[in-house]
Each structure stands twice: as C-alpha cells, then as structure tokens.
Amino acid sequence: MIADYMAKGFLENIIDMFRYDKKLYPLVGDLMKDERVRVRLGISALVETLAREDPQNILSSLPGISDLLKNENPSIRGDAAYLLGIIGHPDAIPYLRDASEDEHESVREIVREAIEEINSRIRNGHSDRRQAVSGFS
C-alpha cells in the first residue's frame, strides 16, 4: 500500500503515516526494492525528511537499508549507500566500508561520499544520532 501511494505521488501523506506510526520505519529497505523509480525517489525524499525531523526513529530503518548494499541491482546498492549517508549514523560506516569495493564504480563513489558525510558530521559535532540501534551495532 505504501509503495502504491508513493507511486501516485502522495509523499506528504506517507511522511505523516511514518510520523504517527513508528513501526513503519523498518519497511524502508523493502520499499527501496520496488522497481518503480518514482517509489524509490519518493523513499529517498521520505528518508531525507525523516532524518531531519525524527532522527532517533529513522535509525530503525538502518538494518533494512544496510542489507540493500548486497542487492544484485547496482542502482539499489547506490541508493542504499546514499540513504545511509543521509541518515548519517556512525553505525552505518562498517556496512559502507564492506561495500567500498563494489564492482560498480558509481556505487563505490556513492559509498565513499556517504562515509565522508558521516565522518564530517562526527568531526563537526553535528551527529546527534550517536546512540546505537538495538541489535544493529
């Protein structure tokens, strides 16, 4: 249902759904596997919004997103690395490092940028999301 709503352009409605039902956050990884580009772009916008507005709860999406770094589709692997950089949590770095030798140069570049973004936030003290997610660290 969420993917279908996203495909129809109901991003604001979906953001509201996530704001009110924190149990939806772990679904982000599954939603990123959708073949519809509009859905994957919408999920990126969703994560960007929720990373700003709800940084603690977005952490529950990390395991599902990190799993996508091993997806057979290089676009999905790159999208996953991008989202981990947007979320900016240090716990994502080991997963990103594992993906840093991806067979596709574009994925490797996105992985490097995500690691740099997270490290920059840590160095600059902008990462207020240092608490580990239970079962993820």
pLDDT score for 125: 80
| 93-105 per-position pLDDT tens digit | 999 999 999 999 9
Give the chain's radius of gyration (CA, Å).
14
Task: Report the CATH number that the domain containing residue 71 is assigned in CATH.
Answer: 1.25.10.10
- Tell me whether residue 128 is in a domain: no
pLDDT score for 97: 97
Q: In which element (H, E) is residue 82 found? A: helix 74-87
Q: Which residue has the tokens 């840590």?
A: 122
* Mean local confidence (pLDDT), 45-65: 96
pLDDT score for 136: 36
Q: In which element (H, E) is residue 61 found? A: none
**pLDDT band at 124, cuts 50/70/90?**
confident
- Tell me whether residue 31 is in a domain: yes
Provide the number of structural domains found in the chain. 1
pTM to 2 decimals? 0.88
- Tell me whether residue 52 is in a domain: yes
- Tell me whether residue 135 is in a domain: no
Range of the domain at 14: 2-123
